[in-house]
Amino acid sequence: MPILSSFIVKHVRPFGEAGYNTFGNAQTIEFLSSLGLNIGEITNIFAAWRLAALADPVGQSNLFIDAANAVAQARWGNLYETDMSTVMFLDDAQLESLSHLEPGANSNFSWRSPTPIAAAVTIHRQSNRHHIIWGATGFSGGTDGNGRISHFTALLPTER
């Protein structure tokens, strides 16, 4: 997979049963362990991810907002002080498609999702205000020197 684990943790959460099963793999557990999390903490993280993955994006949007806010607060407290933090909830087909994207080293790219993205939640650092986009068609981003997806720039607009 040409995607940095840190990109996945900052910008991607699973959607749907198959998405959760695809996302909840040994590589994800290993990465979370490398951050110093113990098995109990990882189990709790996976339980929260599953709860959101199986939720209705519109009817239970609070679960998606809570998940995105948790990511944002962790990023701003420990990693990066960006103005906004966006989390995309991707299903198994989208995760598979993204894992095959190879835009090359040090490049900007646009990824078009094979299906509309269930939900993408952006949290604003200064106000903790949030907004949700349903049905985004993908996102633009960038890669590192090894060609791995490392940067999220913006969501691609929904189709009308």
Average pLDDT, the chain: 88
Distance from chain centroid for Cα 34: 19
CA distance 156 to 121: 13
Q: What is the pLDDT of residue 13?
A: 93
What fold is seen in the domain 5-158?
P-30 Protein (3.10.130)
Tokens of 9: 């943790």
Q: Residue 79: pLDDT above 70?
A: no
Q: Are strands 84-90 and 108-117 parallel, antiparallel or unpaired?
A: unpaired
Boundaries of every domain in the chain:
5-158
Task: Give the whole-number percent of the chain exceeding pLDDT 70.
Answer: 95
CB within 8 A of 155, min separation 6: which ones?
A: 86, 88, 117, 120, 133, 136, 138, 139
pLDDT in tens, 28-73: 888 888 878 888 888 888 888 899 999 998 999 999 998 888 888 7
Q: Residue 8: pLDDT above 60?
A: yes
Q: What is the pLDDT of residue 117?
A: 95
Q: Residue 82: pLDDT above 80?
A: no
Cβ-count burial of 2 within 10 angstroms (0-12 exposed, 13-18 middle, 19+ buried)?
A: middle
Q: Residue 1: pLDDT above 60?
A: no
- What is the 3-class SS of the chain, one letter each residue? CCECHHHHHHHEEECHHHHHHHHCCHHHHHHHHHCCCCHHHHHHHHHHHHHHHCCCCCCCHHHHHHHHHHHHHHHHHHHCCCCEEEEEEECHHHHHHHHCCCCCCCCEEEEEEEEEECEEEEEECCCCCEEEECCEEEEEEEECCCCCEEEEEEEEEECC
Q: What is the pLDDT of residue 28?
A: 83
Q: What is the pLDDT of residue 95?
A: 93
Do the Cβ atoms of 45 and 37 come closer than 8 Å?
A: yes
Task: Give the whole-number percent of the chain exceeding pLDDT 90.
Answer: 56
pLDDT in tens, 111-136: 999 999 999 999 998 787 899 999 99
Nearest to 90 by CA among 43, 135, 154: 135
pTM: 0.89
